[in-house]
Amino acid sequence: MDNTERASRPGVSRRSFLTAVGATAAAGAVVGVAGDALFAGRPASAAGTFVVPGEVAPHKRTWMAWPSSTSIWGSSLLPKIQGDIAKLAKEIAKYEPVVLCADGTTNAANARAAVGSTVQVISSIPVNDCWMRDSGPLFRVNGSGGRDAIGLNFNGWGGKQTASKDRYVAQRAASYAGVSPFTPSYATGEGGGVEYDGDGTLFATETCWVNSNRNPGWTRQEIEDELLYMFGATKMIWCPGYLDPDDITDDHIDATARFVRPGVVMVQVPPAGTTGPWADNARAIHDTLLNATDAKGRRLQVLTLENPDTLPRWPHSRWNTFLNSYVNWVVTNNAVITTQFGDTAKDAAAKAAIGAAFPGKTVVQLNLDQLYGEGGGGAHCVTMQEPLA
């Protein structure tokens, strides 16, 4: 990999250091089983009934999780990751309620000390880690005041990390929220692996879904049918992905491309002339979406912003594992919270582009270097919105 690629790739989507701290296979992992019997009697989609709304729809609250495992993070890194989680939770709480799940009473007390009184901390939903986007529930609405929730059978990104507690977070959070019924998907995957507009359209990379570590024996069409059914959608756009051995997520789409609203997406692209597999993959995702139509027959409007050119707060040797993704933002009721990486010009350009894409919302850029750099995930990865009915 040349230096240009190191400076411009979107980075590893999750923790490459897991192997260094002894990550274990997901205990009791839930995996899909292919077969027409799974879909017997089920309609092609749930459109017109319950739908996962787009993230710009009004929120009731945001769900997060407090990391507390030294076996995952190590004793020296854990407090730094906790610091970024606390910073993000307190920022989101300025715009909407936040529920932070902590693993037991001691960890809940530590979390309360870090986040203060504006964030609700609960200890009744045990967690392994902080990646609520992947382990948490996806809440659905029916347009008539009804709500339910679905889960995507989180299995530790294909057995790469223990998920003995996180595999139950979706159902337990839905129960805590008073939302029923809860419906687990037959397919296995993560919330960060699929983008949805709430208006009938999904897009995702194939690499993290059509993958034997999550859905052995499933065809792409079977996975597509199940996701459309669960999200209440009618159109899937499959994007290419890139498999990197250091990327635990197998290339989640939310580090590269996001829905802004129905019909409009934003893709983070490398600067012109950048070479390498990550740069090529970002351009391929951009081109796929540029040439796609959504469920309503609209040609997608594709907005772009560029990766930072430099990560001045980090040694150059660390750039290749840093998730330098502006688009891994989290949308709240009145703000979009994203990151700044210390590249003054590119940070400002990203803020302006996101602000133009979300008129009327405040754009907040936080320094979350520990989460993005050491954790390889971002603001979107550690949050899950709960919509209003």
Instruction: Provide the pLDDT for residue 95.
Output: 98
The whole-angstrom separation of Cα 9 and Cα 325 is 9
Q: In the predicted model, is pLDDT for residue 28 greater than 70? A: no
The whole-angstrom separation of Cα 100 and Cα 113 is 12
The whole-angstrom separation of Cα 365 and Cα 84 is 13
- Classify each residue of 82-114 as buried b or exposed e, where b means 16 or more C-beta atoms within 10 Å of its C-beta: bebbbbbbebbbebbbbbbbbbeeebbebbbeb
pTM over 0.85, yes/no: yes
The whole-angstrom separation of Cα 155 and Cα 161 is 8
The whole-angstrom separation of Cα 355 and Cα 226 is 34
The whole-angstrom separation of Cα 34 and Cα 46 is 20
The one-character DSSP state at 266 is E
The whole-angstrom separation of Cα 230 and Cα 237 is 16
End-to-end CA distance of the chain: 48
The whole-angstrom separation of Cα 230 and Cα 150 is 7
Is the Cβ–Cβ distance between 100 and 122 less than 8 Å? yes
pLDDT classification of 1: cutoffs 50, 70, 90: very low
The whole-angstrom separation of Cα 214 and Cα 223 is 11
Give tens-digit pLDDT for 172-219. 999 999 999 999 999 999 999 999 999 999 999 999 999 999 999 999
Beta strands 194-196 and 182-184 are unpaired
The whole-angstrom separation of Cα 350 and Cα 342 is 12
Helices and strands (H and E) in the chain: how many = 11, 16
The whole-angstrom separation of Cα 97 and Cα 62 is 6
The whole-angstrom separation of Cα 169 and Cα 174 is 8
Is the Cβ–Cβ distance between 183 and 231 less than 8 Å? no
Give the residue among 107, 196, 171, 193 at the shortest CA–CA distance from 377.
193
Q: Which range among 47-61, 230-244, 258-272, 293-307 shows the weakest confidence by mean pLDDT?
A: 47-61
| Complete domains list, the chain, with CATH | 3-28+48-387 (3.75.10.10)
Beta strands 335-339 and 384-387 are unpaired
HEC secondary structure over 367-381: CCHHHHHHCCCCCCC
The one-character DSSP state at 166 is G
The whole-angstrom separation of Cα 102 and Cα 196 is 28
Give tens-digit pLDDT for 43-65. 444 444 899 999 999 999 999 99
Instruction: Provide the pLDDT for residue 122.
Output: 98
Give tens-digit pLDDT for 113-145. 999 999 999 999 999 999 999 999 999 999 999
The whole-angstrom separation of Cα 261 and Cα 358 is 9
Q: Hunting for tokens 């997901």 — which residue is that?
A: 26
Active site residues: 381
Q: Hunting for tokens 């740069």 — which residue is that?
A: 279
Give tens-digit pLDDT for 226-256. 999 999 999 999 999 999 988 999 999 999 9
Instruction: Provide the pLDDT for residue 5.
Output: 40
182 strand-pairing partners = 149
Give the residue among 54, 92, 67 at the shortest CA–CA distance from 335.
92
What number of other Cβ atoms are within 10 A of residue 388's Cβ?
14
Give the residue among 243, 271, 319 at the shortest CA–CA distance from 1.
319
What number of other Cβ atoms are within 10 A of residue 169's Cβ?
27
